[in-house]
DNA sequence: TTGTGTTTTACGACCTCC
DNA sequence: GGAGGTCGTAAAACACAA
């Protein structure tokens, strides 16, 4: 039994157990070509960023030019030596800092061992009969320059370590927009979607620049991610947009996650102090640090804060 | 293969700020 | 009143041990 089938079964069983009614099928209502994005190494580096979180970004600040013109944005804050290995996927926005090379820098640390190796042949073939063929009417083969790495459409497993570790078709198991997304309720079709690795990666990157996001960046991210997805994915009649609200919610959830992690760390300081020496600044509700638009001041994320937006 | 624990989306309640 | 914050929680998706 394939993982997808198993997931379906498990889901149905568990949902019935919990709710007494058939599970709302969200997953696998379509199968797309997300492996291209997968090959970007998205999840791997999202996870890596998460792992590195506090130590990697002790002050996790957005560049001071955040609320200045984005034209002034300088990529890779120099204080993060190991951040330089990371680059935004080009085309994520028009920002210079988001328009760098899209390839994964070899300077990025070695992959984590817990990412299981996989072979390119372990997944279903592209011609898997269980899959839907994708002939998007709105898909344009013309790729905006710099939007995605040129190899995005080439063979899988060449772009990142991730691509060599994960089944290139793993993403197919994950949820996608339901074909009949009429409404979003907890019992209907679209209760929850799983963001693509690419989307999560970009959100994570943004989060590591700043724990709070401006309206402008929110809009840019939402647009860019959706655009990137549409450019990279060839699924039919299903466009998956990250809305402003979704970006907002994602940031809220991400902050909550960070608070939770910080809380956990505070409860076991010895265990972490020996392994991950952190600079003094991270002793604060560390990664809670953020930067408001025009300063580099740190503010605890435990403090509710409203960011004044720039327009 | 299955049961179970964890993580990830999404939402509601409530709050503050403008 | 609207936007966006935290907090708590539901439930889907996922990971993994048995």
Quick: pLDDT tens for A151-169. 333 333 333 333 333 333 3
| Positions 42-101 in A, CB within 7 angstroms of strand B | 50
Give me the residue label for tokens 């609200």: A245
Which pLDDT belongs to residue A214? 84
Q: How far apart are CA A107 and CA A43, in angstroms?
A: 18
Question: Which of the nucleotides lies closest to A10 (Cα–C1')?
Answer: B2
Which pLDDT belongs to residue A220? 81
Which pLDDT belongs to residue A241? 59
Contacts with A308 (C-beta within 8 Å, 6 or more apart), sequence order = A292, A293
Protein residues contacting strand C, judged by Cβ under 7 Å: A 7, 10-11, 14-15, 18-19, 23-24, 26-27, 114, 116, 173-175, 186, 191-194, 212-213, 215, 244, 248, 251-253, 255-256, 259, 301-302, 304-307, 309
Cβ contact A187 with chain B strand, < 7 A: no
Low-confidence spans in chain A with pLDDT less than 70: 1-191, 226-241, 267-311
Cβ contact A246 with chain B strand, < 7 A: yes
Nearest to A254 by CA among A115, A42, A18, A53: A53
Nearest to A210 by CA among A200, A218, A219, A198: A218
Which pLDDT belongs to residue A199? 83
């Amino acid at each position: 039994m394939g993982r997808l089938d198993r997931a379906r079964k498990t889901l149905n069983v568990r949902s019935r157990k919990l709710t007494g009614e058939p599970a709302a099928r969200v997953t696998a209502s379509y199968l797309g070509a997300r492996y291209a994005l997968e090959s970007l190494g998205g999840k791997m580096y999202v996870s890596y960023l998460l792992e590195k979180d506090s130590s990697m970004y002790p002050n996790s600040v957005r560049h001071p030019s955040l609320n200045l013109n984005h034209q002034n944005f300088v990529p890779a804050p120099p204080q993060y030596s190991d951040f330089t290995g990371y680059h935004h996927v080009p085309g994520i926005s028009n920002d210079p800092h988001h328009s760098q090379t899209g390839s994964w820098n070899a300077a990025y640390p070695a992959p984590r061992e817990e990412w299981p190796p996989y072979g390119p042949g372990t997944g279903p073939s592209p011609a898997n009969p269980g899959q839907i063929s994708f002939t998007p009417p709105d898909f344009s083969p013309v790729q905006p320059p710099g939007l995605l790495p040129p190899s995005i459409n080439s063979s899988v497993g060449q772009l990142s370590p991730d691509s060599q570790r994960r089944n290139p078709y793993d993403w197919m198991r994950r949820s996608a927009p339901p074909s009949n997304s009429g409404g979003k309720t907890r019992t209907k079709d679209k209760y929850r979607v799983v963001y693509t690795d690419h989307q999560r990666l970009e959100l994570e990157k943004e989060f590591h620049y700043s724990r709070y996001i401006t309206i402008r960046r929110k809009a840019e991210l939402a647009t860019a991610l959706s655009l990137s997805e549409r450019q990279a994915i060839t699924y039919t009649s299903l466009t998956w947009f990250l809305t402003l609200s979704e970006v907002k919610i994602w940031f809220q959830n991400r902050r909550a996650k960070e608070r939770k992690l910080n809380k956990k760390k505070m409860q076991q300081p010895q265990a972490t102090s020996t392994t991950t020496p952190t600079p003094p600044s991270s002793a604060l509700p560390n990664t809670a640090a953020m930067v408001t638009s025009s300063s580099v001041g740190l503010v605890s994320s435990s403090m509710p804060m409203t960011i004044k937006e720039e327009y």
